[in-house]
């Protein structure tokens, strides 16, 4: 029985660390939704591009890892700007659902383009971080790093939104999209900044994920849906809610996977999500 | 003229396999009509503002329930079909009722249904002892002694399958027309514009939405059953999950989800695009067709949100409109 408990504790702590990554994934998406009112269905595919960027700059061109990370963050941020300017902007006035679907088209495009350009082989950057041992429990060091970076990223975004002039403008426009232009704020500039920031966060997530997972063109599908669920569960656009929801989800996946098979952990998490939607359709922290 | 054209297309399609058509074009034609059936199922509710990303779930339920019932219980697909439809209807009710009751609309509805299609895919994978997991599964063959088996719904002849899916295609169009001409369609259109206002004049929002969702789910589920029986192979990635859900949405949008023959045009267009690129460029360039497909979808939604056929009909009407107006006073 005591051994059982230690493994359970290990699962819970690993779930906590996984929650950090999910929270970071949800952060960028929530930021974009909160400000622009658009869900980037292709968000996970942008992370996939970021992961390939790290792989190619680091393993093929031999850049140092930190430079490769900066390149990935910068590239995905630029992609975010391009996505907004050329894909989202033309449909901003159309039916809301068109904005969701148009990024779904981008999902197909990025996934297939990655297959075309990089092939379907699994790639690994070959950087192994050590396992951490605590008593009889083992934790992945890369998960711990990811957790801490995710936490730092969230604090950074929070401070940016609260303390800077631009951040204040972003918060203002997310509260009333119609009035802010009258106050002399150029909404498109704010949207582009937000897109760049959201893209940058996706790039940051890519840097952390690349330490733990192999890269392949369809990897986005394996954590894309879970990211949307986290955001919706927390209340779309609600960053604190997303943060809490990420940890709830991660516990379901980790502890559920401990008692059953890992897929069942996901199934439980999704079913829990559907259940909560009926109880609080606006998300756990969403206002009425 | 449009009505004549419609009949010409239908008759030409019915006669097409009787010409000396090769097996491969016939196979494409069958797949195309099969997908149209599923796309039509999606568009029935999609065009009324209920954009579901969960139809992969119903398609997957159709495909897997018949195959599992046949492989494990020896239940004929003819009995598996109603069983699959019952399961799909139950799931549609369980997800639809709370969604509509609690006004989950727009982005939220799309994302909740997306979760549904992912749950279905994950459950199929997780039950790998029964379903074969990600490797997929083939229905146990009943063709050792006979050339075909009506009991097992296994027909090697493509001609039989063509007429089966052709009939389903017509049935799909008929359902579309029935829905289109019903009062419920008008009510749902009003609801999709302004739900509270529609409810205030006495429309039963939950019941109407639930009804259309059921019809849509059942059509999609039936398409899944046919797909499994025709292909004789099912795989969780190709019959359920987010990929197949998006494929249905885009097939319908590309052709035009507001017009009856839109899904047909959409399926034909996407299939021809994929096959044309493959023939022109060969097998080696993996992913090129989907890349262009994705790019075109983006362009479609930005520049042609009504789809190919929708835009074409609109253009025709615009050209016809001035003459009728000029003719009216005289």
Q: Do B107 and A104 touch (CB under 8 A)?
A: no
Q: Do B126 and A261 touch (CB under 8 A)?
A: yes
Which chain B residues are Cβ-neighbours of A97 within 8 angstroms?
49, 51, 106-107, 110
pLDDT at residue A136, as a whole number = 66
Report domain extents, chain A.
Answer: 2-279
Nearest to A263 among B108, B126, B289 (CB): B126
| Percent of chain B residues topping a pLDDT of 70 | 92
Nearest to A281 among B104, B290, B294 (CB): B104
Nearest-Cα residue of chain A relative to residue B121? A267
Q: How far apart are CA B44 and CA B212, in angstroms?
A: 7
Instruction: Of A53-57, A66-70, A188-192, B138-142, give the lowest mean pLDDT range.
Output: B138-142
Tell whether A259 is within 8 A of chain B (Cβ): no
Residue B116, beta-bridge partner list: none
pLDDT at B1 over 70: no
Nearest to B98 among A98, A261, A278 (CB): A278
Question: For chain B, what is the domain count?
Answer: 1
Q: Do B51 and A109 touch (CB under 8 A)?
A: no
pLDDT in tens, A13-27: 878 888 888 888 888
Q: How far apart are CA A154 and CA A288, in angstroms?
A: 25
Q: Do A109 and B305 touch (CB under 8 A)?
A: no
Q: Which of residues 213-232 of B touch A (CB under 8 A)?
A: none
pLDDT at residue B60, as a whole number = 92
Q: Identify the residue with better confidence: A141 or B88.
A: B88
Q: How far apart are CA B126 and CA B107, in angstroms?
A: 28
Can you tell me the ipTM of this complex? 0.79
Q: Do A221 and B242 touch (CB under 8 A)?
A: yes
Question: For chain A, what is the mean pLDDT?
Answer: 82
pLDDT in tens, B162-181: 888 889 989 998 998 888 88
Q: Do A105 and B115 touch (CB under 8 A)?
A: no
Q: Assign 3-class secondary structure to chain A.
A: CHHHHHHHHHHHHHHHHHHHHHHHHHHHHHHHHHHHCCCCCCHHHHHHHHHHHHHHHHHHCCCCHHHHHHHHHHHHHHHHHHHHHHHHHHHCCCCHHHHHHHHHHHHHHHHHHHHHHHCCCCECCCCCCCEEEECCEEEEHHHHHHHHHHHHHHHHHHHHHHHCHHHHHHHHHHHCCCCHHHHCCCHHHHHHHHHHHHHHHHHHHHHHHCCCCCECCCHHHHHHHHHHHHHHHHCCCCHHHHHHHHHHHHHHHHHHHHHCCHHHHHHHHHHHHHHHHHHCCCCCCCCC
A35 to chain B, minimum CA–CA distance in Å?
15
> What length does chain B have?
330
Kindly indicate the confidence band of residue B329, based on its pLDDT and cuts at 50, 70 and 90: very low
Pick the residue of A223, A263, A265, A288 with the most B CBs within 10 A to test the interface with B by mutation.
A263
Q: Which of residues 30-59 of A touch B (CB under 8 A)?
A: 39
Which chain A residues are Cβ-neighbours of B250 within 8 angstroms?
101, 104-105, 108
Q: Report strand pairing: A131-134 vs A137-140.
A: antiparallel
pLDDT at A182 over 60: yes
Give the domain range for residue B63. Answer: 22-136+145-325
With contact defined as beta carbons under 8 Å apart, do A20 and A218 qualify?
no
Pick the residue of A39, A259, A267 with the most B CBs within 10 A to test the interface with B by mutation.
A267
Query: DSSP state, B202?
Result: T
Nearest-Cα residue of chain B relative to residue A116? B287
Q: How far apart are CA B47 and CA B182, in angstroms?
A: 15
Tell whether A222 is within 8 A of chain B (Cβ): no
Q: Which of residues 54-113 of A touch B (CB under 8 A)?
A: 87, 90-91, 94-98, 100-102, 104-113
Question: For the stretch B291-316, what's the b/e string if a residue is b when 16 or more beta carbons lie within 10 angstroms of its beta carbon?
Answer: bbbbbbbbebbbebbbbbbbbebeee
The dotted CATH code for A2-279 is 1.10.3470
**pTM of the predicted model as reported, rounded to 2 decimal places:** 0.84
Q: How far apart are CA A48 and CA B134, in angstroms?
A: 22
We report the CATH number of the domain holding residue B276 as 1.10.3470
The answer as to whether B1 is a domain residue is no
pLDDT in tens, B60-69: 999 999 998 8
With contact defined as beta carbons under 8 Å apart, do B160 and B229 qualify?
no
Q: Which of residues 258-317 of B touch A (CB under 8 A)?
A: 285-291, 293-298, 300-303, 305
pLDDT at A288 over 50: no
pLDDT in tens, A208-251: 888 888 888 888 888 888 888 888 888 777 778 888 888 888 88
Nearest-Cα residue of chain A relative to residue B237? A221
Q: How far apart are CA A188 and CA A201, in angstroms?
A: 20
Nearest-Cα residue of chain A relative to residue B126? A263
Instruction: Say how many CB pairs under 8 Å bridge A and B.
Output: 138
The answer as to whether B114 is a domain residue is yes
């Amino acid at each position: 029985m005591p051994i059982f408990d230690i493994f359970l504790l290990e699962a819970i702590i690993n779930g906590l660390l996984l929650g950090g990554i999910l929270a970071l994934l949800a952060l960028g998406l929530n930021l974009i939704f909160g400000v622009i009112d658009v869900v980037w269905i292709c968000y996970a595919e942008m992370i996939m591009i970021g992961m390939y960027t790290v792989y190619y700059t680091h393993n093929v061109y031999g850049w140092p890892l930190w430079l490769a990370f900066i390149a990935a963050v910068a590239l995905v941020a630029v992609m975010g700007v391009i996505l907004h300017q050329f894909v989202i902007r033309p449909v901003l006035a159309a039916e809301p659902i068109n904005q969701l679907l148009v990024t779904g088209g981008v999902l197909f495009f990025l996934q297939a383009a990655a297959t075309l350009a990089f092939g379907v082989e699994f790639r690994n950057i070959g950087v192994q971080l050590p396992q951490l041992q605590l008593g009889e429990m083992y934790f992945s060091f890369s998960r711990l790093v990811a957790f801490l970076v995710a936490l730092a990223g969230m604090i950074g975004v929070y401070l940016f939104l609260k303390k800077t002039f631009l951040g204040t403008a972003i918060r203002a426009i997310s509260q009333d999209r119609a009035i802010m232009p009258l106050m002399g704020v150029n909404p498109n500039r704010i949207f582009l900044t937000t897109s760049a920031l959201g893209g940058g966060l996706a790039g940051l997530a890519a840097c952390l994920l690349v330490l733990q997972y192999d890269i392949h063109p369809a990897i986005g599908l394996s954590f894309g849906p879970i990211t949307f669920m986290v955001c919706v569960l927390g209340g779309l656009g609600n960053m604190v809610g997303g943060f809490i929801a990420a940890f709830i989800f991660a516990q379901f996946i980790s502890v559920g996977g401990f008692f059953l098979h890992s897929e069942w952990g996901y199934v439980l998490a999704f079913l829990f999500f559907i259940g909560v939607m009926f109880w609080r359709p606006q998300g756990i922290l969403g206002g009425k | 003229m449009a009505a004549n054209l419609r009949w010409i297309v239908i008759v030409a399609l019915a006669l097409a396999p009787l010409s000396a058509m090769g097996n491969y074009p016939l196979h494409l034609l069958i797949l195309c009509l099969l997908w149209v059936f599923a796309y039509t199922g999606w568009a029935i509710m999609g065009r009324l503002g209920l954009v579901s990303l969960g139809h992969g779930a119903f398609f997957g339920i159709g495909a897997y329930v018949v195959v599992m019932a046949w492989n494990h219980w020896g239940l004929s697909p003819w009995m598996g079909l109603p069983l699959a439809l019952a399961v799909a209807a139950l799931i549609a009710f369980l997800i639809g009722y709370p969604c509509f009751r609690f006004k989950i609309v727009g982005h939220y509805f799309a994302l909740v249904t997306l979760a549904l299609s992912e749950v279905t895919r994950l459950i199929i994978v997780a039950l790998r002892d029964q379903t074969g997991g990600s490797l997929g599964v083939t229905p146990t063959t009943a063709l050792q002694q006979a050339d075909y088996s009506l009991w097992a719904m296994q027909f090697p002849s493509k001609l039989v399958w063509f007429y089966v899916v052709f009939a389903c295609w017509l049935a799909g169009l008929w359902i579309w027309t029935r829905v289109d001409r019903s009062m419920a369609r008008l009510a749902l259109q009003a609801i999709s514009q302004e739900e509270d206002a529609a409810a205030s004049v006495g429309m039963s929002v939950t019941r109407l939405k639930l009804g259309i969702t059921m019809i849509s789910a059942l059509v999609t589920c039936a398409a899944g059953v046919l797909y499994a029986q025709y292909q004789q192979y099912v795989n969780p990635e190709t019959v359920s999950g987010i990929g197949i859900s998006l494929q249905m949405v885009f097939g319908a949008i590309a052709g035009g989800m507001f017009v009856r023959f839109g899904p047909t045009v959409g399926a034909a267009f996407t299939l021809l695009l994929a096959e044309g690129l493959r023939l022109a460029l060969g097998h080696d360039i993996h992913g090129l067709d989907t890349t262009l497909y994705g790019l075109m979808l983006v362009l479609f939604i930005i520049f042609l949100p009504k789809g190919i056929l929708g835009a074409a009909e609109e253009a025709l009407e615009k050209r016809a409109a001035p003459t009728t107006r000029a003719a009216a006073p005289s």
